[in-house]
Chains A and B, each alone.
Chain A
Amino acid sequence: MSRFIAFAKGLPLSGRIGLGLVLFWLAAALLGPLFAPHPVGAFVDYDVFSGFSARFLLGSDYLGRDVLSRLLWGARYTVFLGVGAALLACAIGTSLALTAAVRGGWVDEVLSRAMDTLISIPSKIFALVMVAAFGSSLGLLLTITAITYVPGNFRIARALAVNVVSLDFVTVARARGEGGLHIALREVLPNMIHPLLADFGLRFVFIVLLLSGLSFLGLGVQPPHADLGSLVRENISGLTDGAPAIIVPALAIATLTVGANLLIDALKPAEKQG
């Protein structure tokens, strides 16, 4: 705990704000539903699109449901799908990158060419084509958003891994007769873990934005489930009233992604501020 405080104190102000926002949304996703004042689908207000009030802290939505409760549940979908897809993207991307770097030769050639092709498809277009082809259940969304960002992670991880593979201790390990798997996981991976974590954070931001965008278009998380993007979509008719029901979920997504971005930037080595 004291190490964590020391870590937080070492960050610039923007980084501390980012850390606070990220922790807040993680906590909201984990524990939020426990604090939800109303059941997520319950019609509790006779008025629709009501404003902030003591009874409904964030007002009510287009069907008279409590926005705060729906927001807390929605955050769970957004954060968990985002973390899950980012983990999956990084796991696949980094495994392929390690394979390419350690094996080299035609394996590297083929993998790099394939990833270069995939990275030339703008991510939202790629995701839309996959959604059109396969649909958008929760599992599919997780997979689709993950696959969309595999090539980006591959490119970063391969560049890192190729650098490590050319170092002496890898040559020594090869001479010792270690297998490819050992070299990849024990020798190379530990030496690129920090930049990889930063890349994981970036993938998370991209994936949350993509997922919310898809849900906003009605192509992402489908009812009865609702993530933050779906909340913005379903309340779009409240825009002319300036209802909190539409502004609050949109702000929620922005605070999560902006927070994560500020945190990642603050963790970067300071050299570029030269």
Chain B
Amino acid sequence: MAGSVAPRSALSGVLPLLAKRIGSALITLLLVSVVVFTISGLLPGDAAQETLGQSATAEQVAALRHEMGLDRPALTRYATWLGGMLQGDPGQSLVANMPVRDVIAERLPNSLMLAAFTALVSVPLALAIGIVSAINRGGRLDRTLNVLTLSAVAVPEFLVATLGVLVFSVKLLWLPSIALVSEEASLWDTMRSCALPVLSLAVVVVAQMARMTRAAVADQLDRPYVEMARLKGVPFRRVVMAHVMPNAVGPIVNAVALSLSYLLGGAIIVETIFNFPGLASLMVNAVTSRDMPLLQACAMIFCGIYLALVLVADVVAILANPRLRAQ
């Protein structure tokens, strides 16, 4: 390996590693699709029988089974299903009676907007909390923040949401309790109706992100170079800003990417409470109505986003590691 690559640029050592991570994430996504399809497509009873009900004759059931392709072997069905997913055509939504692609295309932008608003609010707040408590390690402020964030990660989203509605919509009448999102709504109206969903989502995400940020910065503060700088007489403020932060950026971005994956779970509850027309509430409807094609597509999108976030966290960790860059 040594000397085989002429330009010893920063990237040459990292590229194969990155390629490996991306490949591994794709394989995981493929395996996830096997799990999702097995649970939702193969294991539950006969969709044809269920659609037609108890009174259907055996011929009717057999005909529908053939029409739905349920009489083909499992592997063929999986291959067809996966092919459809890859081409962006996961089939027909049984309940909405329109292509799954169209149903999702209508909802996905709303969810992305909600996620973007939440990230916009939570990232700066979480970074501030995390860095402040790392700097004051062991102090009263740190201990208070520790108990607060520790509690916040264990609070169910619907408690924050219901308390938020109670205070801001019922008592103070500041904000609407139902999120109305439409093309015509002005930006201000959209922001107002997103305020409570964003608040409910942000509580858990901020707490999680702040804890991971604190750990990342605290880890840097323990390094010998910090002690060295302090012994040299560099003011603590400068040690933090000029020495610690550049080194902590990698771990912090890693923490941010991982914490954002908590949005996925939270969105399911929050979108449902506020009747927010997003992807997560769509998935809950798909479960209630047992609309399997829609459910599978939603599940795969969520798993894809999750894996992408983990991958970003991974890649940032690699890029931020000076030992790997220096190779």
Contact = CB atoms under 8 A, between A and B. Distances in A.
Given A120-B307, A122-B265, A132 B32 contact: no
Given A121-B35, A253-B159, A261-B151, A131 B287 contact: yes
Interface in B11-61: 28-29, 31-32, 35-36, 39-40, 43-44
A240 B156 contact: no
A257 B154 contact: yes
A151 B288 CA distance: 26
A58 B158 CA distance: 20
B100 interface: no
A258 B269 contact: no
B117 interface: no
B148 to A, nearest CB: 10
B156 A239 contact: no
Of the listed residues B43, B153, B159, the one surrounded by the most CB atoms of chain A closer than 10 A to its CB is: B159
Interface stretch (A44-52, A183-191, A210-218): A210-218
B121 interface: no
B170 A134 contact: no
A181 interface: no
A23 interface: no
B291 to A, nearest CB: 9
A216 B273 CA distance: 9
Nearest to A257: B154
A133 B44 contact: yes
Contact of A14 (B36, B147, B159): B147
Given A117-B28, A125-B303, A242-B170, A132 B290 contact: yes
B155 A258 contact: yes
Interface of B: 28-29, 31-32, 35-36, 39-40, 43-44, 137-138, 146-147, 150-151, 153-159, 162-163, 165-166, 170-171, 177, 218, 222, 261, 264-265, 268-269, 272, 283-284, 286-288, 290, 292, 295-296, 299, 302-303, 306-307, 310
Interface stretch (A2-10, A25-33, A152-160, A244-252): A244-252
Contacts of A251: 159
A236 B274 CA distance: 12
Instruction: Give the 4 A-B residue pairs with the shortest CB-CB distance, closest first.
Output: A257-B154, A117-B31, A124-B265, A250-B159
B298 to A, nearest CB: 8
Contacts of B296: 129
A247 B161 CA distance: 11
A209 B268 CA distance: 13
A260 B306 contact: no
B62 to A, nearest CB: 23
B261 A122 contact: yes
Contact of A257 (B146, B155, B287, B306): B155
Contact of B147 (A129, A229, A246, A262): A262
Contacts of A116: 28
B147 to A, nearest CB: 5
B158 A232 contact: yes
B258 to A, nearest CB: 12
A116 to B, nearest CB: 7
Contact of A265 (B150, B159, B170, B177): B150
A213 B307 contact: no
Given A129-B39, A219-B284, 15 more contacts: A120-B303, A120-B307, A120-B310, A122-B306, A124-B264, A209-B154, A213-B156, A216-B158, A232-B158, A239-B162, A239-B165, A239-B166, A253-B159, A262-B150, A274-B137
B268 to A, nearest CB: 5
Contacts of A123: 265
A134 B138 CA distance: 48
A72 interface: no
